[in-house]
Amino acid sequence: MDARRWKRVVVTGGAGFVGSHLCERLIGDGAEVSCVDNLVTGSRENTAALEQHRNFTFVEGDVSHSGTLAAIPGPVDLVLHLACPASPADYLRLPLQTLEVGSSGTRNALELARRDGARFLLASTSEVYGDPLEHPQSEGYWGNVNPIGPRSVYDESKRYAEALVSAYRRTHGTDTAIVRIFNTYGPRMRAGDGRAVPTFIRQALTGDPLTVAGDGSQTRSLTYVDDTVDGLLALAVSGSPGPLNIGSGDETTMLDLARQILDLTGSASTIEFVDRPADDPAKRRPDTEAARTQLGWEPRVECAEGLKRTVEWFARTGAL
């Protein structure tokens, strides 16, 4: 998706996995990008190549503090709000910070967009559907979330953020959009972030057993990071308010995913079954008809190819 219509863009969480790929695409399209990150889960290594570019500015700061975004000079014409711990290992370690960035952080990012009349896009998540009773999940489904369970700090943070974005649109006329991202993977994931793809790859490459939760029958729909970035920018350009699902229909069980990664790596690692986390969703697959019809978007990278690229990146960089 060509994003050359944007001149000055702010990306919160821009040193994270998806955020850094997004910054890279925007710089390539000629935008001036301010990347804001407190580096709690992001890394300057992800943006190191961009920091030599005259159109890229790195701002180390916490978006939950009002002064961080208010200090960014205007005018800004696009705010992409990705800041938030996104893996279970991170949001369970940082529960209060996760809730704060979904609330105060989202409001501060919205105020920046409101200040300059900018387009605003919230990176929400498939986790707003919880452990879904509807399959596949369409945008009209309200979800099945345990509001007091351990995962609720992330699920409810994003649900509140969606409500806040919608309220700004209705009350202030802010030009907002909501995207619900499904299980993105690819290069620059942290090996120890707790999500299945990097965990299985790390275990396979180091010869450790691949730890599959429960009996491995739970499913996820994996989306390669380039496709996710395409979807985010397509929604930003479209003017649609969303919410729109961005994800793949390529649904796989966790046990099959572990076996795929063993095949790709040629690893002799075994598979070990461990306890399944509380409130872990049994099924996850998006209905993406709205994204196809409204944005002309659909994923292009097949799961086998995306996993191959991701394994090669881990093996080449030694990021284990």
Three-state SS for 264-315 is HHCCCCCEEEECCCCCCCCCCCECCHHHHHHHCCCCCCCHHHHHHHHHHHHH
Would residue 271 count as lying in a domain? no
Range of the domain at 233: 8-185+223-248+285-299
The first and second tokens of residue 40, run together, are 């709690």
Q: How high is the pLDDT of residue 4?
A: 53
In a domain, 256, yes or no: no
Task: Assess if residue 275 is contained within a domain.
Answer: no
Would you say residue 318 lies in a domain?
no
* pLDDT value at residue 318: 77
* Structural domains counted in the chain: 1
Q: In this predicted structure, what is the pLDDT of residue 180?
A: 98
* Non-local CB neighbours of 175 within 8 Å, separated by 6+ positions: 113, 117, 118, 119, 120, 169, 239
Residue 278, pLDDT score:
86
- Tell whether 1 is covered by a domain: no
User: What is the DSSP pairing of strand 244-246 with strand 176-181?
Assistant: parallel
pLDDT at 258 (0 to 100): 95
Residue 249's pLDDT is what? 87
Task: Say if 128 falls within a structural domain.
Answer: yes
Evaluate whether residue 103 is within a structural domain.
Answer: yes
CATH number at residue 145: 3.40.50.720
Per-residue burial over 51-80, b if 16 or more Cβ lie within 10 Å, else e, is eeeeebbbbebbbbeeebbeebeeebbbbb
- Residues in the chain where the model's pLDDT stays below 70: 1-4
Please report the pLDDT score of residue 5 as a whole number.
77
Q: What is the 3-state secondary structure (H, E, C) of 47-88?
A: HCCHHHCCCEEEEECCCCCHHHHHCCCCCCCEEEECCCCCCH
Query: Is 80 a member of any domain?
Result: yes
- C-alpha–C-alpha distance, residues 146 and 148, integer Å: 6
- pTM of the full predicted structure? 0.95
Residue type, 297: W
> How is residue 48 written in tokens?
């190191």
Catalytic residues: 154
- Residue 3 has a pLDDT of 52
